[in-house]
Amino acid sequence: MRFLGVLMVLGTSLGLTNAATGNFTWDSKTFYVNGVQHQIIGGQIDPQRVPREYWPQRLQMAKSLGLNTIFSYLYWQDIEEHQGKFDFTGRNDVAAWFRAIQDAGLKAVLRPGPYVCAERDWGGIPGWLSQIPGLKIRSNNQPFLDLTAKYLAKFGEQLAPLLITNGGPILMVQIENEYGYVGNDKNYLKALSNSLSRSFPGLKQYTNDGASALKSGFLPGALAVVDGGGTENGFRTLQSTITDPSSRGPLMNGELWITWFDVWGPKKGHAGNNGNAGGVDFVLANGHHFSLFMFHGGTSWGFGNGAQDGLPVQPFTTSYDYGAVLDATGRAASNFAPFRNAIAKKVSSIPAVPSNPPLQAIANFSLTPVANWFDMLPKAVVSSTPKVMEALGQVWGYVLYEHVITAAASGKVVPGNGVRDRVIVYVNGAKQGVIDGIYKTPATVNVNLNPGDKLWLLVENLGRADNGFSDQTKGILGNVTVGGNTLIQWNHYSLPLDGAPSGLPSTALSIKANGAPVWYRGSFANTRSGMAADTFLDLPGGIKGVVFVNRHNLGRYWTIGPQQQLFVPGAWLNTNTTNEVLVLELDPGTLSRVARGLATRTWGNNADPDCRNCT
């Protein structure tokens, strides 16, 4: 989140070369689309956080707020999860997204990265980049620039017909994202600008930075845009800091922050949605421009969430509600009306707000334990010392590290150079404890090991820091020691959970206390369709894990909160037939389990049963 790419003029005048199909220009105060004034009243929606089936509804809600322009990040990590394998299907069908924007009668601003922040894993940058020799991200580094250019070229192929110059809705494209916070290398920004100009010929470019980072982050020839909650101060700073006339133009807050994000933790509260519409009043009354961040946040499906930088690890929740004007389910939040009223002072004839059905409640249904996860292991990768997750060809999920004891050892388990990010320790299949990187002082796990014993370390990637700059290698980096003794020879089992498991047994499994993670299966009937079938999946008694509904990965749940339920889009449910729920519980107990659907989400916190004395 928080960076608007550079509106670049790219060495040409502000006029576009293909005026017959469309053009986007500006003067010192106003933007023009095909010669007609266009005050950007925008909002951020990232399509990869929204079920594709719901894109049209989200856009109609944007229009009913009074918005005329949609800003969108695109996540490189989702589109090229593995090097050279590009996926433009489903929520990654970026061309379909911008066609939907055009069909809704809206304009668009493109924010393609390579780095986007957005509270995404590594700021949207693919994890596999960490394994490219000599590569340094977000810098004037040739390996990084070459891979970025290939990625942007693929986007260009998809989006060429949708540029304003070709009659499409996309007005301009952002260079990088809030780069001024971490660097001031104009050669790097220029190299990215050149790649953008090749991929999106004739499209204007801009940069987006916080007020304190404007000078470092702007690029001559690209419109400088400021972001943040303090719009008036940001505009004053921009006017005093950016003196290059090629980067001056209309004043725009590229991210007018609504509220904030949530992070997992037993004492981490929910940010709420108390955004102040007063900033919109000021911008509109003075003829300026803005984009609400977020208008609609959505959900970080699967393992897409990132984390704040630094230690202890602070991973973002699965929900990206963000206190947005449109909540995570696509319905008007309590701050929708105040923002709509503020915009209506400037904009006449705002469409009526569409009627959206309430969410449904689903009665309790049983969850039956059917499989021990460690009985389903893939073929092992063997090495003398532990390999990091990325070296195993894996980006997200878990890695199980196995060591067979050859000489007795006892004492504290140290899983390499720091905890990356959460380690469950087992001896002969019995859980010994959890070393959790979200705490400043994680729990100490001591073990007693005899020859022939199996030590298992299940390591979870909770999300790479979203600043896209620091080392975010996951898994175990360095040697594992027990009581100071280094353990040599490891089996590695990659468990990325990049899809729901198939072929699970149909009979119930007997669960042992403090045993391995367990897969539960349940099902429920549904008579509704579309948004009327939406619900929040609640898992009473669940501690931590992942949920698949009809093979869609809803993301992580964790009892510590503040998020307590997972959003289930009705568009992913079967009508008048069975819907399958698969739950991977990392901390299974021996009690029976149920799940249910709630019509209203609750937020709250619980003590961490795996780390009651951690700070």
Structure tokens, 162: 């949708």
* Annotated catalytic residue within 178, 390, 402, 585: 178
Distance CA 543, CA 72 (A): 34
What is the DSSP annotation of 35-57? TEE---EEEEE-GGGS-GGGHHH
Contacts of 382 (CB under 8 A, 6+ apart): 489, 490, 491, 492
Task: Please pick, among 80, 176, 255, 402, the residue that the annotation labels catalytic.
Answer: 255
Q: Are 324 and 296 in contact (CB under 8 A)?
A: yes
Q: Could you tell me which of 424, 442, 557, 437 has the C-alpha nearest to residue 495?
A: 424
Residue 487 to residues 305, 479, 481, Cα–Cα distance (Å): 32, 7, 6
User: Using CA atoms, how far apart are residues 555 and 561, in angstroms rounded to an integer?
Assistant: 14
From residue 558, give the alpha-carbon distance in Å to each of 97, 300, 524, 541.
32, 14, 22, 10
- Angle, to 10 degrees, between the axis of helix 142-159 and the axis of helix 186-199? 30
Q: 80 an active-site residue? A: no
How long a stretch of residues is the chain? 615
Alpha carbon distances (Å) from 243 to 210, 238, 530: 17, 9, 51
How would you label 328-337 residue by residue, b for 16+ Cβ within 10 Å and e otherwise? bbbbbbebbe
**53 counts as catalytic:** no
Cα 88 off chain centre by: 17
* DSSP category for residue 554: E
Q: Which residues touch 309 (CB under 8 Å, ≥6 apart)?
A: 465, 466, 467, 469, 470
Would you name the residues annotated as active-site residues?
178, 255
